[in-house]
Structure 1
Amino acid sequence: MIEQARTFLWTNARTLEQRWFEHAFDGGKAEHVVNAVLAYRNDDGGYGHGLEPDHRGPTSQPLHALRALQVFAEVNAPEHAEPILAWLTDTCPDGAVPFGMSTSKNHPKAPWIAADDQGGLLLTAQIAAGLYALNATDPWLERATDYCWQEIEKLEKTHPYELRAAAMFLDEVPDRSRAELAAARLKHLTPSTEGYADGEALEPHTYAQKPTSLARAWFTEEELDKDLDALERGQQEDGGWNFGFPAFTPIVDFEWRSIATVDALLTLRRYGRIS
């Protein structure tokens, strides 16, 4: 399985995902992964240039900052959170992060990305989770955390990606008792997939991204085992995995498949399916 994935990634992936895989499975150095991410950084401390495949163009955007934080967490590089925090303080001072900023309105992006500067739980919760995973502390993160608690505790209607974002936040936020209570309540929400593409959905392992995730209690052991079995069988003949949403332009197909491939292998390893 790993050998086939290695062939897929060397054939199709960006340098970043190749270096990420190399670090995760072949003993590659963390600094090589970090340097691959830093190639996307702008002078303002944010990230752009298609680091997150669905948002093209050079301008610093929250989706790119999120991706950078997630990769830095994978390779334990907490020192690189500080410039992102400075950028967030300048661009989202109240702690609520938009899905897309108006600075990208003239650049290509997926049709579901609104460059409207409207803060929301979807990105704020994931970015806060990424910062907590790097053990960051900052007044901006405190404001973002307050915002996330406010939005999560009044959540009655949601969609799968927002619910996943909330689960990610609850897995990392320091107040564990409050997180457990919130997770128990969210278990009973049914996310709406109205407007989603046919077959687009999130599976149990995307909510419970590791065995210690609070969202693991949202599913029975049988449900989770069945889901992990399906993930294991999801490797394609070319060695890569597919992703569960439309590719808005051809180039992102292999970019997202490469990310999905490393994600799948890491999930299977976290759950003891591969070593």
Structure 2
Amino acid sequence: MEIFVRGREFVRRDARLLERRLFSVLFEDGDPAGVVDALRGYRNADGGFGHGLEPDKRCPDSTALDVETAFDAMIAAGVRDEELIGGACDWLQSVATPEGAVSLCNPAIEGYPRADHMSEWTYVPSLNPTAGLVGRLHQLEFEHPWRDQATAWCQAELANGLPGEGHSMLEVLRFLEHQPDPGVDAVRAWLPKLSMFRANADDPTYGVTPLHFAPTPDSVWRQLFTQEQIDGHLDRLVADQDADGGWALTWEPPGPMATLEYRGVVTVAALDSLRRNGRLSID
């Protein structure tokens, strides 16, 4: 109970409106429409999302990374706004390669404060974020011509093999879980080869963890990990709550406000993860 109360106070005190509305939906029986209303403030006339919705870059221009963040908020809130999703898909189609691939960001971010890791690599169309966006659209049960085109591109790319980096693999798993054969055995064999994968819960460095790959007990990918591994990362999540009630970051956002905003994101996510895995008492 103390974990929840401290986390709630952090969200109420320091998180931005979007995370406060999402917290209300997840833990206080709040109206999911409030999450959609908050997302509208980040929407651009072109149908995409920007304005630092993903806080590591403060650029107002639409980026696929911000679209992905908007989709994640709707999925977490259990709401599907067809106008927002459809407009975002239209925008994705407008900036995609002829084959349907999109990049995380674009050079417009260089004119605004951004984290050091937000650099040229984010301008390259790739499985990160194309595969993850397609997977999220399947989860939202939203059909669109861009989704079909991007699906074909992802399938062609994956025919050449799985990615070697943890974040890209995370996006690919979002895609594969909605395919007829997700290829669990191939993914299991590939995990030890991944960079930026933090399999050991005692490792304090930044990386993608088993809880990112398999956030819930019924996840397709939970079978990749032992219960001991999952329990270790849940224990670590509990231990990593800061004295102020929020969770700290293992990277450096572009400034104090972005840091607080991202801490709000990860704090709501941490509380939700603990709840969904039976490790959080809120009564």
Indicate whether the TM-score tops 0.5: yes
TM-score after normalising by structure 1: 0.90
Partners of 2:258 and 2:5 lie apart in 1 by 23
Distance 1:85 1:156, change over 3 A: closer
Aligned equivalent of 2:218: 212
| Pair 1:267 & 2:269 matched | no
| Pair 1:105 & 2:110 matched | yes
Q: For 1:28, give the aligned amino acid.
A: G
Q: For 2:101, give the aligned amino acid.
A: A
Q: For residues 1-275 of structure 1, what are the structure 2 equivalents within 5 Å?
A: 1-78=3-80, 79=82, 80-92=84-96, 94-115=99-120, 117-155=123-161, 158-171=164-177, 173=178, 175-176=179-180, 178-179=181-182, 181=183, 183-189=184-190, 190-193=193-196, 199-274=205-280
The SS at the match of 1:187 is: helix
CA contact under 8 A between 1:81 and 1:134: conserved in structure 2? no
The worse-fitting range, judged by mean Cα deviation, of 242-251 and 205-214 is 242-251
Cα displacement string for residues 72-97 of structure 1 (whole angstroms, at most 9, x for unaligned residues): 11223322311111111111153211
Which runs of no fewer than 5 residues in structure 1 stay unpaired?
Answer: none
Partners of 1:101 and 1:268 lie apart in 2 by 35
CA contact under 8 A between 2:55 and 2:253: conserved in structure 1? no
The SS at the match of 1:147 is: helix
Partners of 1:140 and 1:212 lie apart in 2 by 29
TM-score after normalising by structure 2: 0.88
Distance 1:87 1:204, change over 3 A: same
The worse-fitting range, judged by mean Cα deviation, of 44-53 and 213-222 is 213-222
How many residue pairs get matched?
267
Q: For 1:81, give the aligned amino acid.
A: I
CA contact under 8 A between 1:99 and 1:114: conserved in structure 2? no
Partners of 1:246 and 1:100 lie apart in 2 by 18
Which runs of no fewer than 5 residues in structure 2 stay unpaired?
Answer: 198-203
Q: For 2:90, give the aligned amino acid.
A: A
CA contact under 8 A between 2:59 and 2:108: conserved in structure 1? no
Distance 1:26 1:12, change over 3 A: same
Deviation at 1:113, TM superposition (A): 2.2
CA contact under 8 A between 2:113 and 2:254: conserved in structure 1? no
Extract structure 1 runs of 4+ deviating beyond 4 A: none
Partners of 2:119 and 2:135 lie apart in 1 by 22
What is the Cα-based RMSD across aligned positions, in Å? 1.9
Q: For 2:171, give the aligned amino acid.
A: A
Q: For 2:96, give the aligned amino acid.
A: C
Structure with more relative contact order (C-alpha pairs < 8 Å, separation 6 or more): 2
Cα displacement string for residues 42-84 of structure 1 (whole angstroms, at most 9, x for unaligned residues): 0010011100001212101111101011111122332231111
CA contact under 8 A between 2:130 and 2:150: conserved in structure 1? yes
CA contact under 8 A between 1:167 and 1:214: conserved in structure 2? no
The worse-fitting range, judged by mean Cα deviation, of 183-192 and 137-146 is 183-192
Partners of 1:3 and 1:143 lie apart in 2 by 45
CA contact under 8 A between 2:163 and 2:169: conserved in structure 1? no
Deviation at 1:40, TM superposition (A): 0.5
Deviation at 1:234, TM superposition (A): 2.1
Partners of 2:20 and 2:13 lie apart in 1 by 10
